Amino acid sequence: MQVMVQILTVLENISRSVAINGLLTWEYMESGVDLNLVSASVQQNPYEIYEKLRSKDPVHRMRLIDAWALVSYEQIDAVLRDQKRFICRDRNIGYSNLRTLLDFDPPQHTRIRSLVSKAFTARALAELEPFIQQTVADLIEQIDNRERFDLIESIAYPLPVLVIAKMLGVPARDIDRFRSWSDMVALDVEPMLRSEDVFSLRQNMNELLEYFEERINEHKLTPQKDILSTLIKAEDDGDRLSHEELLGNLVLLLVAGNETTRNLIGNGMLALLRHPDQLQWLRNNPDRLDSAVRELLRYDSPVQLNSRMAAEDVEIGGKNIRAGAKLILLIGAANRDPEIYSNPNQLDFSEPRKAHLAFGRGIHYCLGSVLATMEARIVFEALMSRFPRIRLASEPVRRKRVALRGLKELWIDTT
Ligand code: HEM
């Protein structure tokens, strides 16, 4: 099987690059701009191509993945709020067959969301805060006066995994396995994947599902005070959350909660280190940390895009979009829209900004927004107080991803 995959990969790489170039040329001839979301330069810095799209073709036909890309804040906001004309069902993303909250429209979405929300009440989050504080303190302790450390490896990577593992009742002995499954299944949200990645994604997904089945059985025998027990109870209360829905949403919580929060901590700290004046401002105004985290989410959004499907023929920005067409909503671009934000490419904590779209909008608005913001706030607070001087030690290393934009390494100098 492995050999077969390798042969397929070689053949695929050759035919792929020919096909990709052809489609991109077609796209460019049509609109004066081409958008290749898997190109290395776009993954390094998507903001340049967003600007090009904004000036040349803000409602852009992507021939490569047969979808429409939007960059304007107002248009994306309107699409996300209009759950009748823009739906999630059958939008044809994802390589696994799992259905999660993100794939449902009302009325199923309303029912499942109200059940999953039980795990995110203000009380549940307040109970989690001391655990997050302690975990961050322990992780910083392990850095142990080192002059240089990699923020991703030391804190941004382990913290969200430990938090979600705690919420889902995953025992400490399984954290490493859980961590690697989480990384692999997160590929499910990328708009384009190579066949070897699809193969590996499916293999990891199956292992993870088997693992969740074991945990569910365990929790059924001995209920705990965690999300998993809350969701199992929702499954047991009549036919409200089916077994498939339970499994799908456990995977969603893992994927939605990990890499995104890691990216917020990594991208956020990088932005702070690249703007020493803003970092100093924050040290002088620690009570403004929450609004600073919002600005960091806007400035370099951990999730750069989401998608919808047109349920009927619609017109957006003078373009006719057919029922069934896929829309790629570039929320990372919307968050830098000059129509909405003055100096959008500037990180600026001092001025109140209009609410960003980094957590989405409308009925699918991120369920974990408060949790993620809490984790980032606690990390930034702890790092600023523990290290009076921090600066970038070397150029950061970016992950080769586009939907989930984040860093692989971020070395910090504390001297
Ligand atoms: C900085 C971190 C995070 C970012 C940037 C983020 C971003 C997003 C976005 C953009 C959406 C909307 C997707 C759409 O409209 O198609 C979303 C939905 C969601 N997020 Fe987050 N997220 C983050 C952290 C978390 C965490 C920590 C959790 C849970 C542990 C979580 C759970 C969810 C869930 C369950 C949904 C689906 C809600 C629904 O469909 O009703 N997220 N997130």
Q: How far is the centre of ligand 1, averaged over its atoms, from the C-alpha of 41 (Å)?
A: 26
The best mutation among 260, 308, 375 to test binding of ligand 1, ranked by most ligand atoms within 8 Å of the C-beta, falls on: 260
Q: Give yes or no for residue 371 CB within 6 A of ligand 1.
A: yes
What pLDDT, on the 0 to 100 scale, is given for residue 236?
60
Please indicate whether residue 167 or residue 359 has the higher confidence score (pLDDT). Answer: 359
Q: What is the dihedral of CA 292, 296, 302, 306, to 10 degrees?
A: 90
Q: In this model, does residue 322 exceed pLDDT 70?
A: yes
- Spatial CB neighbours of 334, under 8 Å, sequence gap ≥ 6: 70, 71, 72, 73, 76, 77, 340, 357
| Residue ID of nearest Cα to ligand 1 atom 21 | 366
Please indicate whether residue 33 or residue 69 has the higher confidence score (pLDDT). Answer: 69
Q: How far is the centre of ligand 1, averaged over its atoms, from the C-alpha of 369 (Å)?
A: 7
Q: In this model, does residue 232 exceed pLDDT 60?
A: yes
Contacts 24+ apart (CB under 8 A), 230-236: 230/118, 230/119, 231/115, 231/116, 231/118, 231/119, 234/115, 234/118
Per-residue model confidence as pLDDT tens digits over 75-108: 999 999 999 999 997 654 455 667 788 889 998 8
Q: Give yes or no for residue 358 CB within 6 A of ligand 1.
A: yes
Q: In this model, does residue 254 exceed pLDDT 90?
A: no
- If pLDDT is split at 50, 70 and 90, which confidence band does 305 have? very high
What pLDDT, on the 0 to 100 scale, is given for residue 196?
75
Q: Give yes or no for residue 231 CB within 6 A of ligand 1.
A: no
Q: How far is the centre of ligand 1, averaged over its atoms, from the C-alpha of 2 (Å)?
A: 34
Domain ranges of the chain: 2-413
Cα gap 320→229, rounded to integer Å:
47
Please indicate whether residue 239 or residue 85 has the higher confidence score (pLDDT). Answer: 85
Cα gap 224→267, rounded to integer Å:
35
What pLDDT, on the 0 to 100 scale, is given for residue 239?
52
Q: Give yes or no for residue 257 CB within 6 A of ligand 1.
A: yes
Residue 316: strand pairing partners: 319
Per-residue model confidence as pLDDT tens digits over 116-135: 888 888 988 998 999 999 99
Please indicate whether residue 97 or residue 20 has the higher confidence score (pLDDT). Answer: 20
Q: In this model, does residue 317 exceed pLDDT 60?
A: yes
Q: Give yes or no for residue 329 CB within 6 A of ligand 1.
A: no
Q: In this model, does residue 314 exceed pLDDT 60?
A: yes
CATH class of 2-413: mainly alpha
What pLDDT, on the 0 to 100 scale, is given for residue 96?
63
Q: How far is the centre of ligand 1, averaged over its atoms, from the C-alpha of 56 (Å)?
A: 31
- If pLDDT is split at 50, 70 and 90, which confidence band does 345 have? very high
Percent of the chain with pLDDT over 90: 58
What pLDDT, on the 0 to 100 scale, is given for residue 77?
98
Region 41-45: what's the mean pLDDT? 91
- If pLDDT is split at 50, 70 and 90, which confidence band does 203 have? confident
Q: Give yes or no for residue 104 CB within 6 A of ligand 1.
A: no
Cα gap 59→382, rounded to integer Å:
42
**What is the bridge-based pairing of β-strands 397-398 and 407-409?**
antiparallel
User: Among the listed ranges 122-126, 208-212, 236-240, which one has the minimum average pLDDT value?
Assistant: 236-240
Q: Give yes or no for residue 368 CB within 6 A of ligand 1.
A: yes
pTM of this structure: 0.92
Q: How far is the centre of ligand 1, averaged over its atoms, from the C-alpha of 255 (Å)?
A: 9
What pLDDT, on the 0 to 100 scale, is given for residue 183?
79
Closest CA to 241 of 79, 117, 69: 117
Cα gap 65→67, rounded to integer Å:
6
Q: How far is the centre of ligand 1, averaged over its atoms, from the C-alpha of 160 (Å)?
A: 13
Cα gap 330→62, rounded to integer Å:
13
Q: How far is the centre of ligand 1, averaged over its atoms, from the C-alpha of 52 (Å)?
A: 28
Q: Report the mean per-residue pLDDT for the chain.
A: 89
What pLDDT, on the 0 to 100 scale, is given for residue 237?
60
- If pLDDT is split at 50, 70 and 90, which confidence band does 7 have? low
Asked if residues 281 and 349 have their Cβ atoms less than 8 Å apart, the reply is: yes
